[in-house]
Amino acid sequence: MNLLLRLNLALGVVFGLGALASALVCRNVLDANAQHEALEQAALMMDSALSIRDYTQREIVPLLQTQMKSQFLPQSVPFYAATQNFLRLHEARPLYEYDEPTLNPTNPRDRATDWEADLIAHFRNEAGAHQLSGERDTPMGRSLYLARPIRAEASCMLCHSLASTAPRTVTARYGRANGFGWQVDEVIGAQVVSVPTTMVEANARAALHVFLVSLGAVFLALLLAANAVLYWLVVRPVRHMAALADRLSRGDVDTPEFPTSGGKEIATLGRSFNRLRISIDKALRMLDGSR
Domain ranges of the chain: 14-197, 207-290
Q: Is the pLDDT of residue 119 over 60?
A: yes
Q: In whole numbers, what is the pLDDT of the chain averaged over residues?
A: 84
Q: Is the pLDDT of residue 191 over 80?
A: yes
Which is nearest to 115 in space by CA: 194, 172, 44, 173? 194
In this predicted structure, what is the pLDDT of residue 69? 77
CATH 3.40.50 fits 14-197, yes or no: no
Main-chain dihedrals φ then ψ at residue 161, nearest 5 degrees: -80, -70
Concatenate the DSSP letters of all residues of 239-291 into one string.
HHHHHHHHHHHTT-TTPPPPP--SSHHHHHHHHHHHHHHHHHHHHHHHHHHH-
Residue 127 carries which DSSP code? T
In this predicted structure, what is the pLDDT of residue 150? 92
Residue 104 carries which DSSP code? S
Q: Is the pLDDT of residue 1 over 70?
A: no
Of 54-63, 89-98, 156-165, 196-205, the least confident: 89-98
In this predicted structure, what is the pLDDT of residue 116? 92
In this predicted structure, what is the pLDDT of residue 102? 92
Residue range 138-172, pLDDT digits in tens: 888 889 999 999 998 888 888 888 888 888 888 88
> pLDDT tier at 133 (50, 70, 90 boundaries)?
very high
Q: Is the pLDDT of residue 291 over 60?
A: no
Q: CA 65 to CA 60: how far, in whole Å? A: 9
In this predicted structure, what is the pLDDT of residue 190? 93
In this predicted structure, what is the pLDDT of residue 288? 67
Q: Is the pLDDT of residue 26 over 70?
A: yes
